[in-house]
């Protein structure tokens, strides 16, 4: 696995596509029926704040693999946060599935984080059981976040 030096290099190696939804079962059903992506594993994910601007949160996420891509569907957490606000998901408007982030394995993220900060992107850091994850706020350019998975794939 390459040690990426820039966010551009990381974007080119996207390993995960993630979406936020207001209806987990409806979103999974849509992916299964329309795209044939199955099976899905749903679990609670605890994000422990590990840096400035981050806050602890627990969310429901479902994961499925199709070829070399990992797909993730996140149920929009109540109360929103910096990480999930602004995606236009509204429980009153019927099923919505909105792109949220792309994920990249980055076991040694220091150069990537320096490049992100140099480009003016904010970052939010969290700890999960497997290691650290860092969200780089590239929304002003890409419309979504970049998630750096700071551990090696299983």
Instruction: Give the residue from 58, 22, 23, 16 showing the smallest Cα distance to 37.
Output: 16
Q: Are 15 and 146 in contact (CB under 8 A)?
A: no
Residue 72: C-alpha distances to residues 6, 12, 21, 31, 141 (Å): 24, 18, 10, 11, 21
CA distance 96 to 112: 32
Identify the structural domains of the chain with CATH numbers, from first to last: 7-150 (3.10.180.10)
Q: What is the pLDDT along the chain (154 residues), one digit of tens a residue?
A: 556 778 888 777 889 999 999 889 999 999 999 999 999 999 998 888 888 888 888 889 999 999 989 999 998 776 656 777 666 666 667 888 989 999 998 877 888 888 899 999 999 989 888 888 999 999 999 889 999 988 767 6
Q: Which helix (H) or strand (E) holds 42?
A: strand 41-49
């Amino acid at each position: 696995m390459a040690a990426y030096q820039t966010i551009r290099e990381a974007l080119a190696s996207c390993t995960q596509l993630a979406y936020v939804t207001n209806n987990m079962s409806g979103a999974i059903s849509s992916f299964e029926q329309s795209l044939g992506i199955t099976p899905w594993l749903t679990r609670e994910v605890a994000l422990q704040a590990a840096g400035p601007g981050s806050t602890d949160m627990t969310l429901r996420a479902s994961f499925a693999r199709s070829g070399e891509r990992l797909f993730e569907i996140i149920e929009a957490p109540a109360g929103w946060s910096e990480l999930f606000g602004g995606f236009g998901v509204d429980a009153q408007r019927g099923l919505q599935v909105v792109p949220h982030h792309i994920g990249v394995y980055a076991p040694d993220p220091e150069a990537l984080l320096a490049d992100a900060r140099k480009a003016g992107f904010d970052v939010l850091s969290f700890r999960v059981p497997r290691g650290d994850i860092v969200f780089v706020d590239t929304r002003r350019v890409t419309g979504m976040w970049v998630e750096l998975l700071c551990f090696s794939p299983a």
